[in-house]
């Protein structure tokens, strides 16, 4: 199930329930198309639904209304294992909290997707992971990743997302933990991935990343403005 023609969000509605049992609308009637060859920045105030939209596009959050389509595949209608397989084949995810395994080193984290891909050479993917980490200037012999700075951990997360060369890059605040120089470099990296034909969607508060985007979508209270 390889991505064809990017992603489409069609009238997405997502409702969550808080700890007190009260429901709130995280997304309401959100519709947008994310095509290959374009970098889309999703902006808006905190709590406006930006991360929820990104996770819905990845099939992590399932909408109660509407659908996410990738070519002729409706992602949210797939069974959980099918969604996992679709995401592995198609999505490079960069999470806001990184979701690294603290006990592994940078290389161990970067090659994690290789454990789930039985069709590619682990040796080749290990070499690719090393190349990506070198490109992002992450030290290979630094011990457990928990010892790295947040900026270095951010770059490990990006290397992991790019390991399998996915057609879709979905990044949640990919420059938030980086200094100005590294933030600009990663923003340009995302711009280059889009120019190479990838579908790149980034949730961000970074004006420099927004300036490089082909399109900017603004969410407020779960609705596109």
Model pLDDT for residues 115-138, shown as the tens digit of each residue: 876 656 688 899 999 999 999 999
Instruction: Taking the CA atoms of 134, 36, 43 and 109 in sequence, report the sign of the dihedral they define.
Output: negative
- DSSP string of 144-165? SGGGS-HHHHHHHHHHHHHTT-
8 Å CB contact between 194 and 168: no
Query: Confidence class of residue 37 from pLDDT cuts 50, 70 and 90?
Result: very high
- Residue 3's pLDDT band (boundaries 50, 70, 90)? very low
Mean pLDDT of the chain: 93
Length of the chain equals: 225
pLDDT digits (tens, 9 = 90+) for 183-193: 999 999 999 99
For 76-97, the pLDDT digits (tens) are: 999 999 999 999 999 999 999 9
**What domains can be seen in the chain, in order of their start residue?**
7-16+32-104+167-224 (3.40.50.300)
Whether the predicted model's global pTM rises above the 0.85 cut:
yes
**C-alpha closest to that of 111 among 124, 99, 94, 102:** 124
Whether pLDDT at 162 is above 80:
yes
């Amino acid at each position: 199930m390889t991505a064809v023609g990017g992603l489409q969000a069609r009238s997405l509605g997502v409702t969550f329930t808080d700890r007190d049992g009260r429901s709130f609308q995280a997304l309401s009637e959100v519709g947008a198309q994310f095509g290959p060859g374009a970098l889309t920045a999703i902006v808006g105030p905190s709590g406006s639904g930006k991360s929820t939209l990104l996770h819905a596009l990845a099939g992590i959050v399932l909408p109660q209304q509407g659908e996410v389509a990738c070519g002729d595949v409706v992602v949210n209608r797939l069974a959980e294992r099918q969604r996992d397989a679709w995401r592995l084949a198609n999505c490079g995810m960069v999470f806001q909290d990184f979701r690294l395994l603290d006990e592994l080193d940078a290389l161990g984290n970067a090659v994690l997707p290789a454990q789930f891909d039985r069709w590619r050479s682990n040796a080749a993917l290990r070499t690719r992971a090393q190349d990506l980490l070198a490109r992002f200037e992450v030290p290979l012999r630094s011990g457990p990743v928990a010892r790295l700075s947040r900026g270095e951990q951010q770059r490990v997360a990006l290397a992991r997302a790019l390991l399998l060369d996915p057609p879709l890059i979905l990044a949640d605040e990919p420059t938030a933990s980086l200094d100005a120089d590294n933030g600009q470099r990663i923003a340009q990296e995302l711009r280059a991935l889009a120019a190479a034909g990838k579908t790149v969607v980034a949730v961000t508060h970074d004006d420099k990343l927004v300036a490089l985007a082909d399109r900017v979508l603004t969410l407020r209270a779960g609705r596109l403005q």
